[in-house]
Amino acid sequence: MKSKDKELLITHLFDAPIGEVFDAWTDPEKLRHWYAPDGCTIVYKSIEVKQGGKFHYHIHHPLHGGAWVMGTYVEISSPEKLAFTIRITNENGDIINASSAQWPGEILTTVTFESIGSQTKATIHEAVSEEEARKTGAYAGWIMMFNKLNRLLTGQLPE
Amino acid sequence: MIERRDVYQAIADPTRRMIIQKLSAGALNIGQIVEDSGITRQGIAKHLKVLNECGMITLTQKGREQFCEARLDQLDEVVDWVNQSRKLWGQRFEKLDKFLAVTKKL
């Protein structure tokens, strides 16, 4: 189980019914209240919540400045699943190619929601995507691969 | 369009992940990588080129053979990203918990 903390598969149990949780993820007015990182604010320039729809937002930090993020909804299956890609862009939505240590280019995020009694379990799977969801086969694997590598490196797997 | 060449691009493709995994046990020549991979030598060569450009492997000529070695320390960057991302989601969960609690009272 040691490798678990290296895997970007995160789950969280929300104390609300599935419809409300899904709504909080897809309503820009609600997203505004929680989606920004700590100490930051978020402003949506545009958001079109539908399959193939795009969103474009600005994250602002009073000291560190801000960043524009643009993404595409790859899948919206209310209330069970939400998948979208994100990239760092400029205000006009042009992709900024320069990658940094903290930003692996395009990321594909898949969120699944599951009712557990009156609560909702959300599972987030994040992966580096090479070309949007066209290669969906790629994203399931890289984290597993990474874990495997990690275990190999730390001598936990027999060769 | 400028193509990305970094560790993330190296691991974004399933074939390249397979190559990295094979190399994680030690250096191999191209023939050994092709073996049991189900991919042609030409296909492997194409991915090795990308991996090399990404700085994920080093290629060394030994006599008539070319040996590939994975630079696994490059993956540290991915570990950092994973940790950052995990932290961010933690913050969001906490805020959404609070938001859901507040909206429930209304």
**A57 has a pLDDT exceeding 90:** yes
Residue B101 located in a structural domain: yes
A-chain residues near B93 (CB < 8 A):
12, 14, 122
Residue B2 located in a structural domain: no
Summarised one tens digit per residue, pLDDT across range B36-58 is 999 999 999 999 999 999 999 99
What is the domain-level CATH number for residue A121? 3.30.530.20
Q: How many domains does chain B have?
A: 1
| A70-84, B9-23, B45-59: segment of lowest average pLDDT | B9-23
Residue B1 located in a structural domain: no
**Which pLDDT score, from 0 to 100, does residue A133 have?**
34
Residue located via tokens 């995160």: A10
A82/A67 Cα distance (integer angstroms) = 23
A88/A70 Cα distance (integer angstroms) = 6
Residue A35 located in a structural domain: yes
How far is the CA of A148 from the CAs of A155, B18, B26, in angstroms? 10, 11, 15
Residue A141 located in a structural domain: no
Size of interface A-B (CB pairs under 8 A): 106
Contact A146 B78 (CB under 8 A): yes
- How many Cα atoms within 13 Å fall on the side-chain side of residue B62? 10
Q: Chain B: nearest CA to A1, how far in angstroms? A: 17
What is the domain-level CATH number for residue B77? 1.10.10.10
Contact B11 A128 (CB under 8 A): yes
Residue A146 located in a structural domain: no
**Which pLDDT score, from 0 to 100, does residue B1 have?**
41
How far is the CA of A118 from the CAs of A15, A19, A108, A112, A149, in angstroms? 7, 11, 29, 16, 39
Contact A101 B77 (CB under 8 A): yes
Residue A143 located in a structural domain: no
Residue A74 located in a structural domain: yes
Structure tokens belonging to residue B57? 């492997």
Q: Chain B: nearest CA to A132, how far in angstroms? A: 11
- Residue-range definition of the domain harbouring residue A65: 9-130
- The backbone torsions φ and ψ at residue A60, rounded to the nearest 5 degrees and listed phi first, read -125, 135
Summarised one tens digit per residue, pLDDT across range A80-137 is 999 998 888 889 888 776 555 456 677 888 899 999 999 999 988 887 655 543 344 4
pTM for this entry: 0.72
Residue B12 located in a structural domain: yes
> Residue B42: exposed, middle, or buried by beta-carbon count in 10 A (0-12, 13-18, 19+)?
exposed
% of chain B residues with pLDDT over 70: 94
Q: How many domains does chain A have?
A: 1
Contact B100 A15 (CB under 8 A): yes
A-chain residues near B21 (CB < 8 A):
145, 148-149, 152
Q: Which of the four pLDDT bands, split at 50, 70 and 90, describes residue B34? A: very high
**Which pLDDT score, from 0 to 100, does residue B21 have?**
86
Considering only residues 16 to 75 of chain B, which have any Cβ-Cβ distance to chain A shorter than 8 Å?
17-18, 20-21, 24-25, 72, 75
- Residue-range definition of the domain harbouring residue B62: 7-105
